[in-house]
């Protein structure tokens, strides 16, 4: 295990991001890791404000995530959903009984005018996690997925209700033009020694973070310290829609394609050894290693290897 004095900022979505963030949290002191979280798949349901990606990272860091799914709480139950169904509601979004407490509190505090940043910090403290989980913005931001079959869908409708079956024509982020990067995120990016794009869905989890005005520029200003971990293993996504939707959008799901997608932002790319390219990937240092994280040991090993390697890429 490498104990380093680097300040690391990780851009993370949900399940894939949380896996690497977990590893990082085991090898870095708490004051040297800040996670910038995606809020564009936040949505409202029955008056509740739900932040799926923030919650996945938060539950993972606090050690209370459901290990089988990667999201939700370990040992949760579904009685509230059963009751909703009894009332004839179409309970398409899985909300666990204990999970509900998080959404209730968040919604209650938002209604009192408290920012999502402060609320997330309170929830993290409540769960006993000392790490900084920073929503990229406190302003509304929503992923819209334009599909061939159903037209424009809110993200959760595409993802959960339609189980990402529709063909994607375009993805955009409602509210991105007005959204403001928070001061905490600006400060974390400005003072980072290493910025890691986690192996999250590039289009649905990382792009909405980059879409908030100022974030891309803040990262561009820090060239020399920015790396991404590919979410692809053996030429496809480990789970979720990335390897279906990215080709639908004309994007290549190869290390080269990833580098093109994040053009101008990366100095290094971590790719799985199964994705070794015949031609070298140009424009970034490459670390070839096992990136599939099935166990906690895998997550910690990958975090360790990345931190050690990142010392050699500074240009
Ligand atoms: P979501 O918002 O819950 O879908 O989570 P993310 O966007 O953070 O993560 C989804 C991405 O994580 C997918 O594209 C997966 O391919 C990737 N992913 C999941 N597990 C792993 C893993 O163990 N290794 C790598 N390299 N990528 C992973």
Ligand 1: does its nearest atom lie under 6 Å from the Cβ of 200?
A: yes
Ligand 1: does its nearest atom lie under 6 Å from the Cβ of 236?
A: no
Residue 21 has pLDDT above 60, yes or no: yes
Each residue's pLDDT tens digit, 126-183: 999 999 999 999 999 999 999 999 999 999 999 988 999 999 999 999 999 999 999 9
Quick one: pLDDT at residue 283? Answer: 85
Distance 293 CA to ligand 1 centre (A): 10
Which residues on adjacent β-strands are paired with residue 251?
Answer: none
- Rounded-to-integer distance, Cα 129 and Cα 58, Å: 8
In the chain the domains, ranked by start, together with CATH numbers, are 8-44+52-65+130-141+176-310 (3.40.50.10680)
Mean pLDDT of 100-124: 98
Mean pLDDT of 192-203: 98
* Three-state secondary structure readout of 184-251: HHHHHHHHCCEEEECCCCHHHHHHHHHCCCCHHHHHHCCCCCEEEECCEECCEECCCCHHHHHHHCCC
Atom of ligand 1 nearest to the CA of 17: 8
Each residue's pLDDT tens digit, 279-309: 777 889 999 999 999 999 999 999 999 999 9
Each residue's pLDDT tens digit, 224-238: 999 999 999 999 999
Q: Are the C-beta atoms of 175 and 141 separated by less than 8 Å?
A: yes
Ligand 1: does its nearest atom lie under 6 Å from the Cβ of 38?
A: no
Quick one: pLDDT at residue 127? Answer: 98
Higher pLDDT, 94 or 289: 289
Least confident of 54-58, 107-111, 250-254: 250-254
Atom of ligand 1 nearest to the CA of 198: 8
Quick one: pLDDT at residue 19? Answer: 98
Quick one: pLDDT at residue 173? Answer: 98
pTM of the predicted model over 0.75: yes
Higher pLDDT, 312 or 41: 41
- Percentage of the chain beyond pLDDT 70 is 97
Look at ligand 1, atom 25, and give the residue with the nearest C-alpha.
231
Look at ligand 1, atom 21, and give the residue with the nearest C-alpha.
16
Quick one: pLDDT at residue 202? Answer: 98
Residue 32 has pLDDT above 60, yes or no: yes
Quick one: pLDDT at residue 314? Answer: 63
Reported as half-sphere exposure (CB side, CA atoms, 13 A), residue 86 has a value of 6
Q: Model confidence at 1, in pLDDT bands (50, 70, 90)?
A: very low
Look at ligand 1, atom 5, and give the residue with the nearest C-alpha.
14
Quick one: pLDDT at residue 277? Answer: 76
To 5 degrees, how large is the angle CA 65–CA 67–CA 72? 40
């Amino acid at each position: 295990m490498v104990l380093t004095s680097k300040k690391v900022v990780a851009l993370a979505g949900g399940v894939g991001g949380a896996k690497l963030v977990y590893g990082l949290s085991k090898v870095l002191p708490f004051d040297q890791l800040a996670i910038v979280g995606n809020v564009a798949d936040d949505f409202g349901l029955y008056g509740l404000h739900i932040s799926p990606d923030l919650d996945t990272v938060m539950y993972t860091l606090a050690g209370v995530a459901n290990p089988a799914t990667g999201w939700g709480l370990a040992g949760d139950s579904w009685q509230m959903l059963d009751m909703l169904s009894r009332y004839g509601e179409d309970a398409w979004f899985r909300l666990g009984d204990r999970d509900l407490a998080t959404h209730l509190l968040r919604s209650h505090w938002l209604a009192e005018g408290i920012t999502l940043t402060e609320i997330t910090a309170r929830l993290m403290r409540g769960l006993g996690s000392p790490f900084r989980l920073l929503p990229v913005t406190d302003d509304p931001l929503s992923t819209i997925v334009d599909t061939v079959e159903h037209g424009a869908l809110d993200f959760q409708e595409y993802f959960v209700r339609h189980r990402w079956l529709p063909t994607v024509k375009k993805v955009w982020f409602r509210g991105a033009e007005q959204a403001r990067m928070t001061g905490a995120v600006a400060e974390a990016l400005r003072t980072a020694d290493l910025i890691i794009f986690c192996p999250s869905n590039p289009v649905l989890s990382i792009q909405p973070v980059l879409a908030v005005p100022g974030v891309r520029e803040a990262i561009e200003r820090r060239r020399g310290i920015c790396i991404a971990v590919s979410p692809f293993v053996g030429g496809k996504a480990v789970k979720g829609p990335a390897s279906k939707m990215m080709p639908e959008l004309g994007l290549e799901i190869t290390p080269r394609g990833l580098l093109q997608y994040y053009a101008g932002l990366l100095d290094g790319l971590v790719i799985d050894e199964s994705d070794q390219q015949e031609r070298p990937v140009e424009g970034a240092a490459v670390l070839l290693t096992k990136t599939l994280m099935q166990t906690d040991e895998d997550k910690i090993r990958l975090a360790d290897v990345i931190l050690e390697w990142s010392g050699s890429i500074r240009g």
